[in-house]
Every structure is written in structure tokens, then in C-alpha cells.
């Protein structure tokens, strides 16, 4: 039996998510297969991106690809489940780099139905990247 939360998996294509950039810049988030994608630009000092999740899921791991010219020295990005940090800070300092967090906290990797995944930027100028999160149903 397919649950409502898993229905989109039977249809193929991407499943769009609601994502809000606290700095009002462009952001797109969606699920495709077993991955959550979030593509953003101009994430500035202490700004956040909040993605609403329509069903329970668990974060397995993540990667961040810095856009060409989207890097900023000293800038980092952290993933949380809306309240608790799931990952340690990932560096946005290297142009066109692919970065993975060195830790994922299994105590906080679950996200509730109608919960959120939040990306929080540290200080420094605007940065651009694509974050890809491996997810499984929870």
C-alpha cells in the first residue's frame, strides 16, 4: 500500500517543495527520486532558506556544489531540522567545489510531516550553491 507521503514516488518527475529565502533572493527546492535538491543564489550573512517538508523523512547525507563565482571566503552553510543542527558547517570558500559535511547527527536527522529543513549561512557576502540531500522515508 502506498502512503500519501509516498504517492509522488510512483509518478516520476520532480516533486516541488515550498522554499523561502529570508533574503528574498531566488531559491528552488524539489524532490527527485530519493534526493532533495535546493538551488539558491545570494544567500547572505546569517540568512536562511526554509524548506517545508510534506511528509516524514530522514536525512542520510548531503553534498553542496558551489556555483561558479558563488564562493565566499570564510562562508559556511549548516543544515538543521528546523531546530537542531543535522550537519556541521560546510565551507563555501572554494569556487566550483563539491563539499560534504564531515558529520551528520543521527539524533536530529528526522524531519516530521509539515516540518522544515533549514539552511543557515554564516557571515560574509552572498553565496550561491546547489545542495543535494539523500533522503529516506521515516
Q: What is the CATH number of the domain that holds 90?
A: 2.60.120
Q: Which is higher by pLDDT, 10 or 30?
A: 30
Domain membership flag for residue 17: no
> pTM here?
0.91
- Half-sphere CA count of 4, side-chain side, radius 13 A: 4
Number of domains observed in the structure of the chain: 1
Mean pLDDT of all residues in 2-22:
74
Q: What angle do CA 99, 104, 108 make, to 5 degrees?
A: 140
Mean pLDDT of all residues in 104-124:
96
The span from the CA of 75 to the CA of 92, in Å, is 5
Domain membership flag for residue 74: yes
Q: For residue 61, what are the β-bridge partners?
A: 134
Mean pLDDT of all residues in 103-130:
96
CA distances from 33 to 5, 16, 37, 40, 63 (A): 13, 12, 10, 20, 16
In this predicted structure, the answer to whether residue 132 has a pLDDT above a threshold of 60 is yes
pLDDT at residue 1, as a whole number? 41
- The pLDDT confidence band at residue 138, using thresholds 50, 70 and 90, is confident
Domain membership flag for residue 6: no
| Host domain of residue 40 | 24-137
Domain membership flag for residue 98: yes
Domain membership flag for residue 9: no
Mean pLDDT of all residues in 72-86:
96
pLDDT at residue 49, as a whole number? 98
pLDDT at residue 100, as a whole number? 98
For cell 527527485, the residue is: 32
pLDDT at residue 24, as a whole number? 86
Amino acid at each position: 500500500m502506498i502512503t500519501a507521503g509516498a504517492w509522488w514516488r510512483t509518478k516520476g518527475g520532480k516533486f516541488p517543495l515550498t522554499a523561502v529565502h529570508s533574503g528574498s533572493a531566488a531559491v528552488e527546492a524539489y524532490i527527485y527520486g530519493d534526493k532533495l535538491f535546493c538551488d539558491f543564489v545570494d544567500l547572505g550573512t546569517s540568512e536562511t532558506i526554509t524548506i517545508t517538508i510534506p511528509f516524514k523523512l530522514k536525512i542520510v547525507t548531503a553534498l553542496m556544489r558551489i556555483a561558479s563565482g558563488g564562493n565566499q571566503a570564510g562562508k559556511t552553510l549548516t543544515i538543521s531540522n528546523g531546530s537542531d543542527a543535522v550537519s556541521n558547517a560546510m565551507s563555501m570558500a572554494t569556487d566550483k567545489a563539491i563539499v560534504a559535511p564531515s558529520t551528520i547527527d543521527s539524533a536530529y536527522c528526522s524531519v516530521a510531516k509539515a516540518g522544515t529543513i533549514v539552511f543557515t549561512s554564516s557571515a560574509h557576502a552572498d553565496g550561491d550553491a546547489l545542495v543535494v540531500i539523500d533522503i529516506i522515508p521515516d
